[in-house]
Structure 1
Amino acid sequence: MVFHPKRFGLFKTKIFFFFFFYCVAQSIMLLSECKLKTVQ
C-alpha cells in the first residue's frame, strides 16, 4: 500500500485529535470525580 503525503498527514492529524480529545475527556472525568468526593 502506497501512502500519499497529504493523506498520511490527515491520518496523523486525526490520530492526534483523537488522543487529544481522549486525554481531555479523561481529565474532565477525573476532575468531576475529585469534585464529587470533596463535596460528599
Structure 2
Amino acid sequence: MGTPAARVGDMTMSGDPITGPGVPTVLIGGQPASVSG
C-alpha cells in the first residue's frame, strides 16, 4: 500500500483548501497532485 496523496482543492486538517498549481501531469481522481516544498 502506498502513502497518502493530496490533491489541489483537498481540505487540510485546519479546514483550509490546498492551493495549486500542483502537477498537471499527475492526476489523482481527475485532479492535479499537490506538491510540498
Relative to the length of structure 1, the TM-score reads: 0.18
Going by fraction, where is helix more abundant, 1 or 2? 1
**Radius of gyration: which is bigger?**
1
Q: Which has the higher contact order (CA 8 A, sep 6+)?
A: 2
Going by fraction, where is strand more abundant, 1 or 2? 2
